[in-house]
C-alpha cells in the first residue's frame, strides 16, 4: 500500500517518525493508502 510522505523544499521528505495514518476514500470507506505522520523534528525542519 502506498505511503504518502511529506513535501519539503520541493522534494519528497520521508520524515523521522514511522507512524502512519490511513487514507480513506469517503465514498466507499476503503483504505487506499497511508500518510506519514510528522514529528516535532519534522515540523522544525520546515
Quick one: pLDDT at residue 24? 98
Cα–Cα dist 23/5, whole Å: 12
| Residue range of the domain that includes 25 | 3-45
> What are the tens digits of pLDDT across the range 1-46?
889 999 888 999 888 888 999 999 999 999 999 999 999 988 888 7
Cα–Cα dist 20/32, whole Å: 13
Cα–Cα dist 28/19, whole Å: 24
Quick one: pLDDT at residue 34? 96
Quick one: pLDDT at residue 8? 86
Quick one: pLDDT at residue 38? 92
Quick one: pLDDT at residue 45? 81
Cα–Cα dist 23/13, whole Å: 18
How many domains would you assign to the chain?
A: 1
Amino acid at each position: 500500500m502506498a505511503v504518502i510522505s511529506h513535501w519539503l523544499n520541493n522534494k519528497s521528505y520521508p520524515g523521522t517518525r514511522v507512524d502512519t495514518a490511513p487514507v480513506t476514500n469517503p465514498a466507499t470507506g476503503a483504505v487506499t493508502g497511508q500518510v506519514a505522520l510528522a514529528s516535532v523534528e519534522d515540523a522544525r525542519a520546515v
